[in-house]
Structure formats: structure tokens, C-alpha cells
Amino acid sequence: MAEKFPIRLGVNVDHVATIRNARGGFHPDPLRAARAAIAAGAHGITMHLREDRRHIVDSDVERMKEVPAPLNLEMAATEEMIGIARRVKPHAVCLVPEKRAERTTEGGLDVVAGGAALRDAVKLLSAHSRVSLFVAPDAAQIEASKKAGAAVVELHTGTWCEATAHGNQQQARGEFQKLSEAARLAHSLGLEVHAGHGLDFGTAELISALPEIAELNIGHYMVGEAVFAGLDAVVKNMLAAMARGRALIGSGA
């Protein structure tokens, strides 16, 4: 079953850079984390180059060429970021909304309101990268993503993960249902489906049971857990959790 429904893990190394930047200097190096994650079995690396460079900086993105793994560059669809992506040509670009004052990416991209400017950005970036749009699990946003020319949608799992973490079971069930329906709709439109934000071992296992989901991008929890268990063990445990979720497909569980 696992081979029939393969699923990839992209490790987001932003918060290795957060720790580095707390003291300036070079340690810990997000590239060392990227190499360790790939050696442990992760399929790719994600970096979010934010406008304020609060964690990942331009040289981290440039240096990722040294790591033989697909890079998924998360960024806002601004002129500056599009210029950087056109120069670096990462394997994938995930367009996200970005507000300067937010602690992390708070909501999905409003693709419905994005109009021609977003369509143009997707077209430009698609010349060298697989373009993904980070959206809420909402039918209108998914249909607009298809119309905008994206190859991929990444479903925002943050609301579901938060409800789960706070023990709000009814809300969590409702949010999971939305993710499940959104994944089915996106897949039926020919979009590749990714998911991410706020995932931990438990939620990654549960969402891996949705057969349409081809990739998870996970950062904060894994970097936090690596303090206790080391990144190698955390990547392997995350892959095992995803495999357990995958094994549920078709099992009737």
C-alpha cells in the first residue's frame, strides 16, 4: 500500500536559522541540518525566505545548491522574491501570503483575489520550478489555484493542528473533514496535493491516511524535537509516522 501511495517528507529548516540568528554568526547551520535530514531519509528541504530575513537569509538559499536534494522555496509573490527565484531556480516554489508582523504564516493565500498578478507570477516561476500555492482547505481557493496555472496546492493544516493540540475534538473533526474534501477536489482537478503547517508526529500520521496527499512540509515541531532526540531520529520517526498513516489506506480503519 505504501508503494501505491507514495508520500514525501520535506523538512523545513527555517528554525535552525532562527537559533543561529539569535546569536549571529554561523552556528547552527541550516545547511548542516538539511544534509542530516536528507541522510536520515527526508525527500526534500524547505526554506522560507521572508521579506524581513528573520530566519533564512539569501546566502542560505544560494548555498543550498551544495546539498543534493530538491529545494522547495517558500516566498511571497513580490517582485524581489520572484527575481531571486528566477536566479536560483529551485526545484519548487511555494507562494505564501506574508505579513511583516505575523509570527508565522497565518492563513492561506487568497488566490481568488490574486487575479492577473498572481497568474503572471505562477507563469514566470513555472518556467523553472514546480509552483505550489499555499491555500486554506476551501473549494473556491482550490478551483482558483487550478485556474491560476499552479501545478500543486499545499493545504494549510494550521487550524486543524491547533484544534487538535487544544483538545477541541469537534472542531478538529470538522477541520479534518475540510482537508479531506479539499484534497479530493484538488486531486480531481489534476493538482498535486501537499500539506503543512503545525504538523507533529500525531497529525502527520493522521493526514498521511489521505491518499491524495503526496508531500508533507514540516519544520517547527521537528526542529524543536531535535533538541531532545537529534534530527536523525526525528526524521526517521516522522517517516515512520507517515508510513503508519499510509498503511491505513484501504484497510477500512
Rounded to whole angstroms, how far apart are CA atoms 85 and 50? Answer: 13
**Residue 4 beta carbon to ligand PXP: minimum distance, rounded to whole angstroms:** 25
- DSSP count for the chain of H helices, then E strands: 11, 8
- Which residue, 101 or 253, is less far from ligand PXP as judged by CB? 101
Q: Would you put residue 167 in left (φ > 0), alpha (ψ -120 to 50) or beta?
A: left
* C-alpha count within 13 angstroms, C-beta hemisphere, residue 172: 13
Among 55, 187, 197, 246, binds ligand PXP (CB under 6 A): 197
Concerning whether 43 is annotated as a catalytic residue, the answer is: no
CB 45 within 8 A of CB 72: yes
Concerning whether 74 is annotated as a catalytic residue, the answer is: yes
184 binds ligand PXP (CB under 6 A): no
74 binds ligand PXP (CB under 6 A): yes
SS3 11: strand
Q: Which residues, numbered 9-68, are part of the site for ligand PXP (CB under 6 A)?
A: 12, 14, 48
Select from 231, 237, 187, 177 the least CA-distant residue to 207. Answer: 177
**Residue 221 beta carbon to ligand PXP: minimum distance, rounded to whole angstroms:** 6
Q: Which of 74, 154, 205, 215 is catalytic?
A: 74
DSSP character string of 118-148: HHHHHHHHHTTSEEEEEE-S-HHHHHHHHHT
221 binds ligand PXP (CB under 6 A): yes
- Strands 130-135 and 213-218 come out as unpaired
Q: Cell triple for residue 18?
A: 532562527
Among 220, 237, 243, 247, binds ligand PXP (CB under 6 A): 220
Q: Which of 15, 55, 194, 197 is catalytic?
A: 197
Concerning whether 194 is annotated as a catalytic residue, the answer is: no
Contact region with ligand PXP (CB under 6 A), list: 140-148, 178-186, 191-199, 201-209: 191-199
Q: Which residues, numbered 94-153, are part of the site for ligand PXP (CB under 6 A)?
A: 94, 96, 104-105, 134
Residues near ligand PXP, by CB under 6 A: 12, 14, 48, 74, 94, 96, 104-105, 134, 154, 196-199, 217-221
Catalytically active residues are 48, 74, 197
